[in-house]
A and B are shown apart, each in its own frame.
Chain A
Amino acid sequence: MRAANDAAVIRESRDVPERFGAIFDAYFAEIHAYVERRIGPENASDVAAETFLAAFRKRDRYEPARASVRTWLYGFATNLVGKHRRGEVRALRAMDRIAGDAGSIAGDAGSEELEARIAAEGLRGRLAGALAALSAGDRDVVLLVALAELSHEEVAAALDIPYGTVGSRLNRARRKLREALGGTNPLLDLEEHDG
């Protein structure tokens, strides 16, 4: 219902451009949250705003049959996030480094609770480091699934890549993340390769 309404608004906005404001009002907060998590608060507002400007300019090319407006917006947002890739990777690496430093003093922590927390921190750091090490395309797929909670089909539409590519990128990325976390299961990997 919402998707049909959104598509109608896009259609109307071709004749009445101001109508596009309704799309902004409905999705800005969500897109901003996605962008901010990826590239941090400093540039998030700019990139989120640019997402809607880009979508507005391309509104004539929106095809409701291919993607919902929400999915379509995530495509623009992800492309624009790509311009800030270095910042994103730097932040993830920093997270890894800070967690690593914490891990090195874990033995001296003195309390079990603190040690557990530091260990969890270390895990987070390794995960961040592994995310930073992914190729940009693989990271986009992982984060559209994890943060935007898009389905494989929606990720394919958002990034304009084949459905099968989404699956293979996601499998590759999951394997790398799992390796980084120390939980590699070769059998599981084999299974997923078939899928």
Chain B
Amino acid sequence: MDEIQMVRDLYDRPAPVPAHKVAAARARLDRLSRPSRRRLFGGSRLLPFGLGLAAAATAVTLTVLSAGTGPEVETGQDSGRRLLLAAAEKTGHQPQPNGRYWHVRIQVSDLLLFGTQSNPYWIKTHDRLEYWMARDPEKPGWDLTQHLGAEPASPADAAAWRRAGSPSPFENKRLPDFHAAVTPGPGKATLEQSDPSLEILTGRPFSLRQVFALPTRSDELEATIRDYLSRQAEHNGEDPPDDARIFDFGSELLVRAPLTPQVRAATYRMLAGLHGVKKAGAAKDEAGRWGTAIAIGGGTDKDGNHVPQFRLIIDPSTGQALADQTVVQKSDTKVPAKPGAAFTSFTMLESGWTDTAPK
């Protein structure tokens, strides 16, 4: 009598896992494993080929900011708060919802580590991400994605690339059985109809309807966001959100969500009240616009792991949020990364309500 075989026979072979369940599980892993927050939308959708490729190749990338790379001065914290509170006062000219679609055009820039183990170099890539989210939650929207181009990140990287024989497209040969290539020139734009319930923020199911329901008091707003992120974290088996996560979430809202002037002001006030917020000096975004960077986080955690710093670049004269970035101050890889480098930047180029769909 073979009890083991009998036990085996006792269990029916389960049916294949439905594709959407596989995708959802993969998305949970991706949220944890992809340091680049380049995915504009949530984890449940697959990226267009070029983007997925680039994201897969991302290790630690750097966007050198023009200032704020040294240790923060004592006054960084206070001046950061002041700047955010001042931005809250500038109610700006955020349009009321009066079009059929919320339209945002964003440039995503990352630095990808390419070349070989012995001759690595950083390539800076740029992608266009554009979306039209229908105000009517029953109606579909549109996403447009396009690779805009790539170039060596610095003269030193360009030299390493030339040593490699100036391969074009840029090739990644660091990993066996993994071949990524990024073209220096722009690729074709891909326009896709998007899910009506699509999330507006990176990798989190947060819909326009939820944006419209955000409270206008900063303490209530913080409680709402903290509660939302806590539930997300619990579902993903992650640590509860710290202030850096709240900051990151608030930054994304400011950069890309259709906030009313009241909610926008409340968001700035909420950021000003977070622990460890500081001014990180003048900074130029990827579109070449100058602003002031407000930062939170960075350094190492209790296990000695590197903690990314989140930055929000705002135009202090208008209170407009220009870009949000994730910055590394020290590379975790064997390849040295420059201090003050961002592995992903989301630069807001255009946003507003429109009646015109792209198709």
Contact = CB atoms under 8 A, between A and B. Distances in A.
Is A bound to B? yes
Interface stretch (B18-26, B207-215, B286-294, B347-355): B18-26
Interface stretch (B74-82, B130-138, B161-169, B170-178): B170-178
Contact of B29 (A32, A44, A53): A53
Nearest to B331: A15
B273 interface: no
Contact of B10 (A13, A33, A44, A124): A124
B4 A146 contact: yes
How many chain A residues sit at the interface, stated as a range, is 35 or more
Task: Classify the secondary structure of A's interface with B.
Answer: helix
B21 A178 contact: no
A18 B7 contact: no
A145 B4 contact: yes
A45 B10 contact: no
A33 B13 contact: yes
A74 B23 CA distance: 21
A77 interface: no
A72 interface: no
A28 B4 contact: no
Given A142-B7, A181-B1, A33 B14 contact: yes
Interface residues of B, number: 41
A7 B48 CA distance: 28
Contacts of B251: none
A54 interface: yes
Interface stretch (A19-27, A100-108, A109-117, A154-162): A19-27
A52 B25 contact: yes
A128 B56 CA distance: 44
Contacts of B29: 20-21, 24, 49, 52-53, 56
B26 A147 contact: no
A28 B25 contact: yes
B192 interface: no
Contacts of A12: 175
Contacts of B242: none
A45 B33 contact: no
B34 interface: yes
Interface in A35-66: 36-37, 41, 44-45, 48-50, 52-54, 56-57
A20 B12 CA distance: 30
Given A18-B58, A174-B3, A181-B1, A56 B32 contact: yes
B155 interface: no
Nearest to B34: A18
A56 B17 contact: no
B100 interface: no
A36 B14 contact: yes
B25 A13 contact: no
B7 A15 contact: no
A145 B17 CA distance: 22
Contacts of A49: 24-25, 28-29
Interface of A: 5, 8, 12-13, 15-21, 24-25, 28-29, 32-33, 36-37, 41, 44-45, 48-50, 52-54, 56-57, 123-124, 127-128, 131, 142-143, 145-147, 174, 177-178, 181, 183
Given A28-B22, A147-B7, 15 more contacts: A15-B334, A19-B56, A19-B175, A21-B33, A28-B17, A28-B26, A29-B17, A127-B6, A142-B4, A143-B7, A146-B4, A146-B7, A146-B8, A177-B7, A181-B3
27 contacts: A15-B59, A17-B32, A17-B34, A18-B33, A19-B56, A21-B26, A24-B25, A25-B26, A28-B17, A29-B17, A29-B22, A33-B13, A37-B11, A44-B14, A45-B21, A45-B24, A48-B17, A48-B25, A49-B28, A49-B29, A50-B237, A53-B29, A54-B237, A131-B10, A146-B8, A177-B6, A178-B3
Q: Which 7 A-B pairs have the closest CB atoms?
A: A49-B25, A17-B33, A146-B7, A177-B3, A37-B11, A36-B14, A45-B21
